[in-house]
Amino acid sequence: MDHNATTPVHPDVLEAMLPYFTKYFGNASSVHSFGREARNGMEEARERLANFIGANPSEIIFTSGGTESDNFAIEGAAYENIKKGKHIITTLIEHHAVLNTCKHLETHGFEVSYLTVDKYGVIDLDELNDLIRDETILITIMHANNEVGTIQPLKEIGQIAKERGIIFHSDAVQSLGKIPINVDELGVDMMSFSAHKIYGPKGIGALYIRKGTKVEPLIRGGHHERNRRGGTENVPGIVGFGKAIEIASADMEQESKRLWNLTEKLKNGLLEKLDYIYVNSHPTQRLPNTLNISFDYVEGESILLNLDMKGIAASTGSACTSGSLEPSHVLLALGICAATAQGAIRFSLGRSNTDEDIDYVLDELPTIVNRLRSMSPLYADRVKQDKSVISNQ
């Protein structure tokens, strides 16, 4: 139940990739038939991704993953538009690929404003409007959050960006293949994607760049990717990404509905069986597969280790920040106190999860939480206090 960290490569994806390591090994830039074969596989994948998001294939640039796409979009737009201004707007709950790129730009003379969010992680459109100035050159706001699953009102943000003539980028790594994406309807100028979150291989991603959007390259080299990203293309990875898109588009609506029902069952089951737990995910505007819950009076890390012993994989926050003992920056931005944030668990479901898996977690997790809580003096005090309040009423 940790599919937001990564997913297994789908067997059909692997099968589609294999010939591109052997038979069709050519360099996609070569003129001869070996090169053409590689190029054909690559262009087919580009078309698939473009069709899936309502873009033109010429607007898709393949990269090494979501992180590079975010770096490319933000740095590229910042430096290309530096004459207009040096102000960027983002949010407090972005992935570190966005946050750390913005932090880096701050050390190079750019100014970054960080939008706050409500208790579910949704930005405030009025605050966005207020932050925009003449020098604002870029708005970067993620489509769906990787830790809590909250979906932002991109369409409304896109309208504001367009009215004010500002480039609008969105990290859509978590939303791709889970909810519909149409770049024109959402009004985005750039969008970041990654293959390994949707049953494709690791190390391959894409950046959508709307025709006419001015961005400087991040990786300079040969004339690959219309001069926008140097380096011989990762053809097997790109072909695998294309296949992953095909698989996602075949049953997205059905699979999303299935995962929504499973996460709702998990949520309701836990709320029924345990006290002092809080749902950090939005009641409706969340990714269908993502559920984030805080368990007071227990450390998330302790829950994870105990779940792991039962063969259940979940996470405390994002895979990229686990290992650090600081509470998640996303949960803190939601206004959750540090102690409650430390007790948060993210369940992110995927294709392999079944109804039986949910039953199993609902059997095991309450036992684990109750056992850990039985060792907590704070928990014992709280229960005593609440009981006395009830008896005094």
C-beta neighbour count of 333 within 10 angstroms: 22
Q: Regarding beta strands 87-91 and 136-140, do their DSSP bridges make them parallel or antiparallel, or are they unpaired? A: parallel
Q: Which stretch binds ligand PLP (CB under 6 A): 63-71, 309-317, 346-354, 367-375?
A: 63-71
Q: What x/- string results for residues 183 through 202 when contact with ligand PLP is judged by CB under 6 A?
A: -----------x-xx-----
321 is a contact residue toward ligand PLP (CB under 6 A): no
Distance from C-alpha of 353 to C-alpha of 217, rounded to nearest angstrom: 40
Minimum Å distance from CB 100 to ligand PLP?
11
The span from the CA of 292 to the CA of 305, in Å, is: 17
Residue nearest to ligand PLP (CB): 66
Among 177, 205, 237, 240, binds ligand PLP (CB under 6 A): 205
- Counting contacts by CB under 6 A, is residue 97 touching ligand PLP? yes
Given phi > 0 = left and psi -120 to 50 = alpha, else beta, which region is 190?
beta
Q: Which residue from 86, 95, 346, 373 is in contact with ligand PLP, where contact means CB under 6 A?
A: 95
Between 338 and 367, how does the x/- string for binding to ligand PLP read (CB under 6 A)?
A: ------------------------------
Residue 176's identity, in one-letter code, is L
d(CA 226, CA 190): 16
Number of residues that bind ligand PLP (CB under 6 A): 14
With contact defined as beta carbons under 8 Å apart, do 187 and 141 qualify?
no
Nearer residue to ligand PLP within complex by CB, 24 or 52: 52
Please list every residue from 271 through 310 that binds ligand PLP, using CB under 6 A.
none
Sign of CA dihedral 240, 244, 246, 247: positive
Q: Tell me whether residue 144 is exposed, middle or buried, using C-beta atoms within 10 angstroms of its C-beta: 0 to 12, 13 to 18, 19 or more.
A: buried
User: Which residues contact residue 263 at a Cβ distance below 8 angstroms, ignoring those fewer than 6 apart?
Assistant: 288, 289, 290, 291, 347, 349
Q: Which stretch binds ligand PLP (CB under 6 A): 16-24, 61-69, 302-310, 338-346?
A: 61-69
Amino acid at 130: D
Cβ distance to ligand PLP smaller for residue 65 or 177: 65
Dist. CA 347–CA 331, nearest whole Å: 15
End-to-end CA separation in angstroms for the chain: 42
Separation between Cα atoms, residue 114 and residue 68, nearest integer Å: 21
Closer Cβ to ligand PLP, 81 or 146, answer by number: 146
Nearer to ligand PLP, 67 or 136 (CB): 67
Smallest gap from residue 15 Cβ to ligand PLP (A):
22
Q: Build a one-symbol-per-residue string for 123-152: x at contacts with ligand PLP by CB under 6 A, - elsewhere.
A: -------------------x---x------
> Any contact of residue 66 with ligand PLP (CB under 6 A)?
yes
| Cβ distance to ligand PLP smaller for residue 37 or 225 | 225
The nearer residue to ligand PLP, 26 or 65, going by C-beta atoms, is 65
Burial class (CB in 10 A: 0-12, 13-18, 19+), 384: exposed
Q: Applying CB under 6 A, which of residues 67, 71, 152, 315 lies at the interface with ligand PLP?
A: 67
Q: Which region among 62-70, 178-186, 330-338, 366-374 touches ligand PLP (by CB under 6 A)? A: 62-70
CB of 207 to ligand PLP, least distance (A): 11
Please state, in angstroms and rounded to a whole number, the distance separating the CA atoms of residues 62 and 49.
10
Residue 150 or 306 with smaller CB distance to ligand PLP = 150
Range 307-325 burial, b when 16+ CB lie within 10 A, else e = beeeebebbbbbeebbeee
Scanning 60-68, 275-283, 303-311, 359-367 for contacts with ligand PLP by CB under 6 A, the matching segment is 60-68
| Catalytic residue annotation | 320
User: Which 165-184 residues touch ligand PLP, going by CB under 6 A?
Assistant: 171, 173-174
**In whole angstroms, how close is the CB of 172 to ligand PLP at the nearest point?**
8
User: Tokens 């003539």 sit at which residue?
Assistant: 165
**Could you give the dihedral angle defined by the CA atoms of residues 348, 190, 334 and 198, in that order, rounded to the nearest 10 degrees?**
0
Binding site for ligand PLP (CB under 6 A): 65-67, 95, 97, 142, 146, 171, 173-174, 194, 196-197, 205
